[in-house]
Amino acid sequence: MIREDIIELFRVRAGKSVDLKDYNSGWDQTEEMKELGKDALRGRARQILDQNLTDLAEAQELLYADDRHAVLIVLQAMDAAGKDGTIKHVMSGVNPQGCQVFSFKKPSAEDLDHNFLWRYMRCLPERGRIGIFNRSYYEDVLVVKVHPELLTAQRLPGDVDGKKLWRRRYQDINAFERHLVRNGTIILKFFLNVSRGEQKRRFLERLERPEKNWKFSSADLDERAHWGRYMRAYSDCLSATSTKWAPWYVVPADHKWVARAVVADVITTEIRSLDLKYPEVTDEQRALLAEAKRQLSAE
Closer residue to Mg ion in complex, CB, 79/198: 79
Per-residue x/- track, 64-93, Mg ion (CB under 5 A): ---------------x--------------
Q: How many residues bind Mg ion (CB under 5 A)?
A: 1
Q: One-letter amino acid identity for 38?
A: K
Which residues have a Cβ under 8 Å from the Cβ of 267 and sit 6 or more positions away? 52, 56, 71, 73, 90, 130, 188
Cα 111 to Cα 133: distance, rounded to the nearest angstrom? 16
Q: Which of 107, 128, 131, 252 binds ligand ATP (CB under 6 A)?
A: 107
- Residue with smaller CB distance to ligand ATP, 70 or 141: 141
Which of 82/252 has CB closer to Mg ion?
A: 82
Span of 92-100, 123-131, 133-141, 252-260 interacting with ligand ATP by CB under 6 A: 133-141
Exposed, middle or buried, 178 (CB in 10 Å: 0-12/13-18/19+)?
middle
Tell whether residue 104 is a contact of ligand ATP (CB under 6 A).
yes
Nearer to Mg ion, 171 or 213 (CB): 213
Per-residue binding string, ligand ATP, 72-91, x by CB under 6 A, is -------x----x-------
According to the binding rule CB under 6 A, does residue 135 interact with ligand ATP?
A: yes
Q: Give the shortest CB-79-to-Mg ion separation in angstroms.
A: 5
Q: Does 105 engage in binding with ligand ATP (CB under 6 A)?
A: yes
Site map (CB under 6 A) of ligand ATP, residues 214-233, x = contact:
---x----------------
Q: How far apart are CA 75 and CA 15, in angstroms?
A: 21
What residue type is 43 in one-letter code? G
Minimum distance from residue 188 beta carbon to Mg ion (Å) = 22
Nearest partner of 83 among 91, 75, 92, judged by Cα: 75
DSSP 198-216: HHHHHHHHHHHSGGGGGG-
Give CA angle at 9 (5, 11), nearest 5°: 105
Could you tell me which stretch among 58-66, 136-144, 203-211, 278-286 binds ligand ATP (CB under 6 A)? 136-144
Helix (H, G, I), strand (E, B) or coil at 103: strand
Cβ–Cβ < 8 Å for 196, 21:
no
Q: Indicate the SS3 state at residue 104.
A: coil
CB of 217 to ligand ATP, least distance (A): 6
For residue 132, the minimal CB distance to ligand ATP (Å) is: 12
Q: How many residues does the chain have?
A: 299
Residue placing its CB nearer to Mg ion in the complex, 218 or 282: 218
Cα dihedral 144, 180, 237, 100, rounded to 10, equals: -60
Q: Is 140 in the site for ligand ATP (CB under 6 A)?
A: yes
Q: Which residues bind Mg ion (CB under 5 A)?
A: 79
Q: Which residues bind ligand ATP (CB under 6 A)?
A: 79, 84, 103-107, 135, 139-140, 143-144, 150, 217
